[in-house]
Amino acid sequence: MDKIDFKKELKHLYQPSAKEVAQVDVPTTHYLMVDGEGDPNTSPAYAEAIEVLYAVAYAVKFMVKKGSLAIDYGVMPLEGLWWADDMASFATDDKSNWQWTMMIAQPPFVTPAMIELAMAEVKKKKNPAAMGKLRFEAFSEGLCAQIMHIGPFTAEGPTVEKVHQFIDARGQRRGKHHEIYLSDIRKADPTKWKTIIRQPMQ
C-alpha cells in the first residue's frame, strides 16, 4: 500500500519559497474546523480545538486505510485563520481579542458520512471537550499570496509585512490571515519552525 503525501502532491501550496512571496490559486478544499477566540498560548478553548481536530483527523485516516478504499495518506498539517473585530488590536501583542478558526484539510475522497462515523468513534472513545464545535466544511480561498516563514511565531512580523507589500503592489487584501504549521512545535527547535503565511488577495 503506497502512502500519499498530499503536501508533495500540492507542492506549490505547501512548499513555498522562504525568500520570495508567490501568488497561488488555492482550490476549494474540505476541512475539519473549530472556531474560537482568545490567546492561543493561554486559552483552554484553543488546546481543546487542537485535540478534537487531530483525534478526528487520525480516526478518518485509519478508517480510510482499513476500509474499502484502502488508501494510506499522511494527515495534513494544522492550519489557522486569524482575525480580530478591531484589526488595529490584531497587530499588537494583545492576543486576548483574537478570533480564530483552526482546521485540518481532508483528502478529496473523504465524505461527510466518513467524518460522521469518525466523530462518533472519537466521541465514544475520548469525547473531547470541543466535540460539539467541530464541523466539516468546504473552504474556498482562491487567489492568495504566500511565503514560508522560518523561525518562532513571535518573529513573523516582517514576513507578514512582506506578503502585505506584495499584495498592495498588485491589488488588495481580502479575507483572513492564514497560517499553515508544518513543524511539530513540541519537538522542533523554534528557530527552525516552518510556517506558511498566506493572505487572500484580489
Decide if pLDDT at 88 tops 70. Answer: no
pLDDT value of position 54: 98
What is the pLDDT confidence band of residue 93, given thresholds at 50, 70 and 90? low
- For 173, other C-beta atoms within 10 Å of its C-beta total 15
- Segment 139-152 mean pLDDT: 97
Total residues belonging to the chain: 202
Distance CA 102, CA 47 (A): 10
Distance CA 117, CA 135 (A): 13
Going along the chain from its start, the domains and CATH numbers come out as 1-28+140-202 (3.20.80.10), 30-139 (3.20.80.10)
pLDDT value of position 38: 92
Distance CA 22, CA 146 (A): 5
| Residue 60, CA distances (Å) to 38, 50, 65, 72 in order | 28, 16, 9, 11
Statement: the pTM of the whole predicted model exceeds 0.75: yes
